[in-house]
Structure 1
Amino acid sequence: MKTLLITGAVGGIGLATAKHFALLGWRVGLYDIDQVAVAAVLEDPALSHCFGAHCDVTETDSVSAMIEHFMQNSGGRMDALINNAGVLSSGEFADMADADCQRMININVLGLTRVAQAGFSALKTTPGSVLVNLCSVSSVHGIPTLAVYSASKFYVNGFTEALALEWRKHGIRVSCIKPPIVKTSMGEAAALGLGGSGDIPVLPEDVAGTIDRIVAGRGTGYFMDAQSRVWSLLDRWLWESAREWLAARLTGYHTLQQGK
């Protein structure tokens, strides 16, 4: 039986991904800072052959304990590690609370890094293993009202590209997924910050399906839709003012400014 560890597993993309792989017969380890919620979701019959525990990705000892717990319950295998835990606070950067900025950096950047480093040995000893980092289409161009979150995803993209090269010799494939705004509480907050209606077509289950394709496939960075892929290509080749114009319109920020 193949095994998968996922962080930030009790809701949104994390829970959808855990259920997706569990239904495929994988033994999934669900970890989250909310220990009560972990126990609650594990009562779902769809996760009857899965397990989980508390993990705070901002604490090194907690991450180490997570890896140890997972390996004890997975038969010593880690076929896939899904680095999903993340947070988002939206708003104009000048108005952002320092605590909100620090939290995004501590979880989205340092936490993701800590989990990858702690999981390396387990991935290395499992043939054909995969690390998937949760990135975002906001890593294409800096997104207004999401400055720190967007910057954290630029880090995830660069980190993924570097590890894809470094860990190849160890038999570990490293990739990331770059979804657009997803219909979760985080996604709705991001959309509202950009003046959107909250009508978001991409569901957590859609992301889970793409993660499945990443685990089974090849490549380092995955966009989920044609618009994101085209935007990425244009952002590489357009001149600066055109890149900024395009980013403002694709994110809806120009409409938000016109309404003020």
Structure 2
Amino acid sequence: MTEPTELAGLRAIVTGGASGIGLATAELLAERGARVAVLDLAPGVLPAPLLGFTADVGEDASVRTAVEAAAEALGGLDILVNNAGVGAVGTVEDNPDEQWRQVLDINVLGVVRTTRAALPHLRRSAHAAVVNTCSIAATAGLPGRALYSASKGAVYALTLAMAADHIGEGIRVTCVNPGTVDTPWVARLLDRSPDAEAERAALNARQPHGRLVSAQEVAAAIAYLAGPLAGSTTGVALAVDGGMAGLRLRPATG
């Protein structure tokens, strides 16, 4: 079991940490004792004791500047949570090349840029961990998510490669694979639906436990993977999906 002060003395960066999964993660890491810096396009006013830094994971110079500033403010770096990302809807013929480049640039190269900037600091940590926010879309075929699935499939493969590359340096790399999470992005998706109530019911039903995943549930998985008690866990994807990836339930009968 995790302890309330398990992360005491550790320093963490969470990208995309101003809302949704990122904010829930940043708050939980701080609650468990870590000093936490949030990197976001618009960090805004964050709850104490979180520190906010403006960063665009699509721009290498922006990322490097923000990571250096955050590491200096924190006094070092032990944990990197690569959470920043964008969504996309459509089949393989629905999204133009420009959107493919943009989503892959943010969702995949964003992880590359932030990790690359953080590695010199992580190498100096005795408890270095990188946790990437991946998705059930990386391992299950979901309709209307071709571009998004391709980007998250790349994040999953990148997680495994990074884990292999850096295990010798004492840096663990893992990822979480959430199901459909009740976040602002999903809320906007529902708002654009012709029948938001029916669409929400369908998203609930798609997950065996019958509801959307909460941001706090994903944050709890990230906090576990980031902490010293997961010191023997690397190169894995932890599903937080209500059983969607592994369960094959029989349809209910009347």
> TM-score w.r.t. structure 1 length?
0.79
Distance 1:39 1:223 in 2: 30
Query: Counterpart amino acid of 1:115?
Result: T
Paired with 2:91 and 2:244, the residues of 1 have a C-alpha distance of: 23
Q: CA–CA distance in 2 between the matches of 1:66 and 1:97?
A: 31
2:199 corresponds to 1:196: yes
CA distance in 2, matches of 1:152, 1:14: 18
Contact 2:17–2:38 under 8 Å retained in 1: yes
Native 8 Å contact 1:142 1:151 kept in 2: no
Task: Specify the SS of the correspondent of 1:205.
Answer: helix
1:33-112 aligned within 5 A: 33-34=41-42, 38-41=43-46, 44=47, 47-48=48-49, 50-75=50-75, 77-112=76-111
Give the conservation status (yes or no) of the 8 Å contact 1:90–1:189.
Answer: no
The structure with the largest helix share of the pair is 1
SS at match of 2:182: coil
CA contact (8 A) 1:181 1:202 kept: yes
Q: Which runs of 5+ in 2 are unaligned?
A: 1-8, 205-210, 250-254
Cα RMSD for the two superposed structures:
2.3
What is the Cα deviation at residue 142 of structure 1?
A: 3.6
**Whole-angstrom distance in 2 between the partners of 1:114 and 1:142:** 28
2:243 is aligned with 1:227? yes
- Separation in structure 2 between the aligned mates of residue 209 and residue 30 of structure 1, nearest angstrom: 17
Q: Once the two structures are superposed, what CA deviation does each residue of 1:208-243 show, in whole Å capped at 9, x if it has no partner?
A: 111111123124211124624426xx9xxxxxxxxx
User: 1:124 is matched with which residue?
Assistant: 123
* Contact preservation (8 Å) 1:4, 1:81: yes
8 Å contact kept, 2:18–2:38: yes
AA aligned to 2:213 is V
Query: Structure 1: how far apart are the matches of 2:237 and 2:91?
Result: 28
1:26 aligns with 2:34: yes
Q: Is the 8 A contact 1:2 1:26 kept in 2?
A: yes
Is the contact between residue 95 and residue 147 of structure 2 (CA under 8 Å) also seen in structure 1?
A: no
**TM-score, normalised via structure 2 length:** 0.81
1:188–1:69 CA distance, 2 compared to 1 (3 A): same
Q: Identity percentage over the alignment?
A: 31
**Aligned-pair CA distance for 1:159:** 0.5
Q: d(CA) in 2 for partners of 1:151 and 1:141? A: 11
134-143 or 97-106, which moves further after superposition? Answer: 97-106
SS at match of 2:69: helix
Partners in 2 of 1:24 and 1:3 — Cα distance?
Answer: 11
Candidates 184, 204, 211, aligned match of 2:222: 211
